[in-house]
């Protein structure tokens, strides 16, 4: 991350971002639809099978918009919502508040909770079907485990370029503050990306507001970037004390058995 205060430098970065965004928008529009749907299936299968997804209890995900050529999340969303409410992961999805980059993440427990907004993206209403105020992720007493993030362009150092609204960067910054204040572990930030959306390092210009991701999921697999992401990718995590305990228990059992057979 760079701290840029010089307005000319910031303007140059915004210009580079705008031109990269328009290049990628075109490439996504031209992507072969069969390839796109194959990649949608591959990416979502990787997420659904991942230990960090399966273990997550509270997560935020985006509701994909086909017209924007976003990686499909419908299988992930329906998998979460297919469980009875009492066994369901708590799922929070974006709702745009205003034009000043403010969005909230509200809980849904059913796909019928969503209606299209002015940008044709499905969003939750403020109140649920019982007239109750929807739960906001910023007001949940427990830490979020996972963010499943959209974006237009990514690189393998964790840089992410969104659609230019700044909604996610602002929201992620606010959530990071909250987690820090509460002394919670930060949630894993995972972005979903078609293969053509990953560009070489150095191509994405960033400012100090851009929040990096921990990992990418592309059709080629899970791409961990941060140390937590590498650890989260392992299906079983043994800490040293746990290993010593396991080995100790093994020898105790052997000794007990020998004792019995004597
Ligand atoms: N599925 C999804 N939901 C989301 C986001 C997102 O990126 N994806 N957002 C993440 O911020 C917020 C909404 N922000 C958005 C920002 C721009 C556009 C959009 O239609 N952009 C057009 C270009 C508009 C223009 O510049 O004239 C485009 O990208 O083609 C949509 C949503 C909250 N919800
Ligand atoms: N933490 C923040 N606080 C205030 N403004 C912010 C913050 N993050 C981003 N913004 C503003 O949002 C606008 C767009 O930012 P940027 O180009 O980084 O968006 P993006 O990464 O494409 O979008 P998004 O974060 O929604 O995916 C900029 O004007 C930027 O100043």
- Give me the residues paired with residue 160 across strands: 154
- pLDDT for 258 equals 53
From the CA of 190, how far away is ligand 2's center (Å)? 18
Buried b (16+ CB within 10 A) or exposed e, 156-189: eebbbbbeeebbbbbbbeebeebeeeeeeebbbb
pLDDT in tens, 64-99: 999 999 999 999 999 999 999 899 999 999 999 999
Of the listed ranges 7-11, 62-66, 151-155, the one predicted with least confidence: 7-11
With pLDDT > 90 as the criterion, what percentage of the chain qualifies?
Answer: 81
Q: Ligand 1 in contact with 103 (CB < 6 A)?
A: yes
pLDDT at 261 over 70: no
For the segment 3-20, the average pLDDT, to the nearest whole number, is: 89
Q: Ligand 2 in contact with 176 (CB < 6 A)?
A: no
- pLDDT for 77 equals 98
pLDDT in tens, 57-71: 999 999 999 999 999
Length of the chain: 262
Both tokens of 102, joined, read 């403010």
- pLDDT for 237 equals 44
219 vs 239, residue with greater confidence: 219
Average pLDDT over the chain reads 90
Q: Ligand 2 in contact with 154 (CB < 6 A)?
A: no
- pLDDT for 102 equals 93
pLDDT at 236 over 80: no
Ligand 2 atom with the shortest distance to the CA of 164: 22
Neighbours of 200 (CB within 10 A): 8
For the segment 183-201, the average pLDDT, to the nearest whole number, is: 98
- Give the mutation target among 2, 5, 166, 170 for probing the ligand 2 site: most ligand atoms within 8 A of CB: 166
With pLDDT > 70 as the criterion, what percentage of the chain qualifies?
Answer: 88
Of the listed ranges 18-22, 126-130, 133-137, 169-173, the one predicted with least confidence: 126-130
- pLDDT for 130 equals 86
From the CA of 150, how far away is ligand 1's center (Å)? 9
* pTM score of the predicted model: 0.90
Q: Categorize the per-residue pLDDT at 173 as very low, low, confident or very high, splitting at 50, 70 and 90.
A: very high
pLDDT at 257 over 70: no
**CA–CA dist 160, 207 (Å, integer):** 11
Of all protein residues, whose CA lies closest to atom 21 belonging to ligand 2?
Answer: 162
Report DSSP state, residue 211: P
Q: Which ligand is nearest to the CA of 26?
A: 1
Helix (H) or strand (E) holding 180, with range, is: helix 167-182
pLDDT at 248 over 70: no
| Four-point Cα dihedral 190, 193, 197, 199, nearest 10 | 40
- Angle, vertex CA 157, rays to CA 237 and CA 212, nearest 5: 85
198 Rama class: left (phi>0) / alpha (psi -120 to 50) / beta: beta
- pLDDT for 238 equals 44
- pLDDT for 15 equals 96
**CA–CA dist 189, 173 (Å, integer):** 12
Q: Ligand 1 in contact with 174 (CB < 6 A)?
A: no
Q: 96 by DSSP, 3-state: which?
A: strand
């Amino acid at each position: 991350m760079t701290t840029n205060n010089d307005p000319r430098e910031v303007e140059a970065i915004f210009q580079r971002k705008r031109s990269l965004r328009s290049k990628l928008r075109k490439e996504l529009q031209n992507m072969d639809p069969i390839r796109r749907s194959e990649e949608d299936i591959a990416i979502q299968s990787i997420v659904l099978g991942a230990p960090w997804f399966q273990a997550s209890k509270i997560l935020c995900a985006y509701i994909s918009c086909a017209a924007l050529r976003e990686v499909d999340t419908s299988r992930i969303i329906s998998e979460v919502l297919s469980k009875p409410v009492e066994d369901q992961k708590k799922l929070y999805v974006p709702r745009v508040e205003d034009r000043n980059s403010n969005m909230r993440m509200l809980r849904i427990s059913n796909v019928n909770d969503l209606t299209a907004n002015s940008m044709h993206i499905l969003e939750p209403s403020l109140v649920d079907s019982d007239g109750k105020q929807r739960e906001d992720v910023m007001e949940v007493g427990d830490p979020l485990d996972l963010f499943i993030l959209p974006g237009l362009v990514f690189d393998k150092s964790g840089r992410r370029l969104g659609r230019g609204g700044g909604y996610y960067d602002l929201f992620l910054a606010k959530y990071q503050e909250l987690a820090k204040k509460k002394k919670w572990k930060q949630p894993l930030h995972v972005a979903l990306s078609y293969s053509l959306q990953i560009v070489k390092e150095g191509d994405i210009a960033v400012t100090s507001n851009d929040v990096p991701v921990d990992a990418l999921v592309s059709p080629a697999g899970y791409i961990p970037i941060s140390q937590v992401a590498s650890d989260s990718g392992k299906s079983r995590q043994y800490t040293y004390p746990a290993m010593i305990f396991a080995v100790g228990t093994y020898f105790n059992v052997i000794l007990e058995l020998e004792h019995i057979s004597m």
